[in-house]
Structure 1
Amino acid sequence: MFSTVNTKMLNIAKVKELHNTHQPFHRPLKCLLARSLAPTTYEKEGKKYLVQHLVICDDTGYLKATSFEIFRTVPIIVTDVIVQTAANYLRPPTPPVTDIPTIKKSPVKTLHTVCGKVSKDETPRQVQTKGGTTQVRTIQVEDKPRNKVKLALWRNFAEESFNMGDYIKVQSVTLTEYQREKQLASTSRTKIEVTSPPEEQVAITIVAFDTTNKDYEFLAQIDGDLLDTYICKKELISDLLSEYESFNHDEDNKPLTDDEKLLDMLPAICVVKVQEKTISYVEKPLSRINNA
């Protein structure tokens, strides 16, 4: 229960109506303690402060409190929905993984979890904030070609161990906006994990290839003009090419090699399953573009 001085008590809705500033409020509240966090220390202007955060609620709503006196009193009735909402306000549940275009369409200050490849990684730098000098490291996360977002890793998160090209999962980051660009920033609850990228199904147009003993390396287009390279086992393509009887022999009725068949079909469209630029499955049919 929560109170400060011995005057007439108000409910939380009335407090919000009468007092919407950051100045101390000197009226008692009879309420339910929904959640509390362990005390934390922060530094401001060379001085260290200890602060504890609480969320309190009654049947009219909830509030966050940081400076208080607590007195016990008889229980009050508050619905489970309000209690859970109040508890989540102080420590929201970890958000699910969301794709980058959806994240950028979300309101500023919302929490997100993002997965993707580290496509840029700047050296940590020292910046001046209201609380003093701290470090920040800016990276760029890419979940699909052209789906990119900047992520600012503050304080200890700037020292996280991962490298360019790693696929990472970053939980509980907040959406910000700087110079009209939507970006992400770490929070006190952020967690970073280096993980494996998911297997994706994409449509590609093979425009060129190189070959080794066991693999093809395809130069392929995605979205019409974006070129990328993929590795594919020869046996996956060989099984598909064997079904095209018209390409099995040349004019002298000599058997064609798989390389010759594939070259004759370029540019070719196919749907593939890919993970880390390695093709694990090629969907039938492998089709030549008619106007090539």
Structure 2
Amino acid sequence: MQSLMTTIKKLKEGAKKPYSVPLECVITSRSDVIRYKTGGISKTMLFVSLCDATGYIKGSVYDIHKFDDIEDGEGVYMKNYIMKSESCLVITSKTHVMERGKMSVPEELVRESVLLTRPATPPPIDVSLVKKSPVKSTVTVTGKISQDEAVRTVDVGGEDVDVRNVTLSDKNCSVRMALWKEQTRSDVHPGDYITATNCIVKDYQGELQLTCTPRTTIKKQEPPEEKHEMTIVAFIPGGIHMQVAIEGSDTFYNIDKDILATFLAVTQNELKSALKEAVPLKVTATVLNKTIIAVEEA
């Protein structure tokens, strides 16, 4: 006699085909709504994580309103779905999705199933490590915006989509990153240090690049300390601080007078005269956000 109910484990072990046998499971998580076009027609879909006592599986939902009134953590009763692969169950407009109420599912399986639609955010890495990452891998990157291109519109599957390319840099290298749709309005500019989460590594004409995803968040970060060899060529005396001009740079840096006086082995009263004698003064400077916080012999 055929069972009146199936399980996720049985479905994953069975044939890849449509099923009418009922499945009772818990929806543990869902992705953001994904918008796309087919033949010029705008459509939507999302992914759900489904779990029962025997395992878990990702569901592709092409009629997203079937889950409007069902909250994550609630049980569902489903019929007329399709097993597309061992790891994916398809829910169409013909699938019956009904509320079932609470179900008892092992916590460990629940935690693991959530990652199907809400993967853990990778820890931040430098730009140089992005260049060593596998194509199609997901990374979180931290770097300084060195270039920012104007927003432009491109055709993606018959839909006009805004895209903005920025270049992220660190001491060793740079990588181009594409921001899409609402992300193009992110309030970040050249000189800002940012962390961008959940970016995909892509190969474009032999060059590794990054593209943001719907899960990407972009946040400004405090700039790191950096060491540079520089030559001080002019200065403006101030109170506690002074401003110095650097050879070959349009940037003026602030520096505490005590730092320079200690470096030149003079008192603050002697500093102005000592600097006049010392410039051009070549130093190795530790810089934090246009402020020199330490100097040493170059």
TM-score (norm 2): 0.67
**What is the number of equivalent residue pairs in this alignment?**
254
Pair 190,14 (structure 1): closer, same or farther in 2 beyond 3 Å: same
Give the structure 1 partner of residue 175 of structure 2: 149
Give the structure 2 partner of residue 63 of structure 1: 58
Residues in 2 aligned to 1:238 and 1:16: alpha-carbon distance in whole angstroms: 76
Query: How much does 1:131 deviate?
Result: 4.8
Unaligned stretches of 5+ residues in structure 1? 1-5, 221-226, 249-254
TM-score (norm 1): 0.69
Alpha-carbon contact 1:44-1:132 (below 8 Å) kept: no
Alpha-carbon contact 2:224-2:288 (below 8 Å) kept: yes
Matched, 1:231 2:253: yes
Pair 232,129 (structure 1): closer, same or farther in 2 beyond 3 Å: same
Residues in 2 aligned to 1:43 and 1:136: alpha-carbon distance in whole angstroms: 17
Alpha-carbon contact 1:219-1:230 (below 8 Å) kept: no
Write the letter of the residue equivalent to 2:260: I
Query: How much does 1:93 deviate?
Result: 4.0
1:177-218 deviation digits (Å, cap 9, x = unpaired): 22222211121122334x353241x44333453322322233
Matched, 1:82 2:109: yes
Query: How much does 1:282 deviate?
Result: 1.1
Query: How much does 1:53 deviate?
Result: 2.6
Alpha-carbon contact 1:209-1:217 (below 8 Å) kept: yes
Residues in 2 aligned to 1:17 and 1:179: alpha-carbon distance in whole angstroms: 41
Pair 49,268 (structure 1): closer, same or farther in 2 beyond 3 Å: closer
Write the letter of the residue equivalent to 1:46: G
Query: How much does 1:16 deviate?
Result: 6.7
Write the letter of the residue equivalent to 1:108: V
Matched, 1:240 2:273: no
Query: How much does 1:101 deviate?
Result: 1.8
Alpha-carbon contact 1:122-1:138 (below 8 Å) kept: yes
Query: How much does 1:140 deviate?
Result: 0.8
Matched, 1:206 2:216: no
Residues in 2 aligned to 1:217 and 1:55: alpha-carbon distance in whole angstroms: 58
Q: 1:160 aligns with which of 159, 183, 186?
A: 186
Query: How much does 1:90 deviate?
Result: 0.7
Write the letter of the residue equivalent to 2:156: T
Query: How much does 1:105 deviate?
Result: 2.5
Aligned residue for 2:124, secondary structure, equals coil
Residues in 1 aligned to 2:186 and 2:255: alpha-carbon distance in whole angstroms: 35
Alpha-carbon contact 1:61-1:82 (below 8 Å) kept: yes
Unaligned stretches of 5+ residues in structure 2? 62-90
Give the structure 2 partner of residue 97 of structure 1: 124
Pair 278,12 (structure 1): closer, same or farther in 2 beyond 3 Å: farther
Matched, 1:215 2:232: no
Cα-Cα RMSD: 3.7
1:148-187 deviation digits (Å, cap 9, x = unpaired): 2111112232233443334434333222222222211121
Alpha-carbon contact 1:13-1:61 (below 8 Å) kept: no
Paired-residue identity, %: 24
Alpha-carbon contact 2:40-2:157 (below 8 Å) kept: no
Deviates more, 1:54-63 or 1:132-141: 54-63
Aligned residue for 1:89, secondary structure, equals coil
Write the letter of the residue equivalent to 2:19: H
Give the structure 1 partner of residue 74 of structure 2: none
Alignment of structure 1 residues 3-152 onto 2, 5 Å: 9=6, 11-12=8-9, 15=12, 18-19=15-16, 25-26=18-19, 28=21, 29-37=23-31, 42-58=36-52, 59-66=54-61, 67=91, 68-70=95-97, 78-142=105-169, 144-152=170-178
Aligned residue for 2:150, secondary structure, equals coil
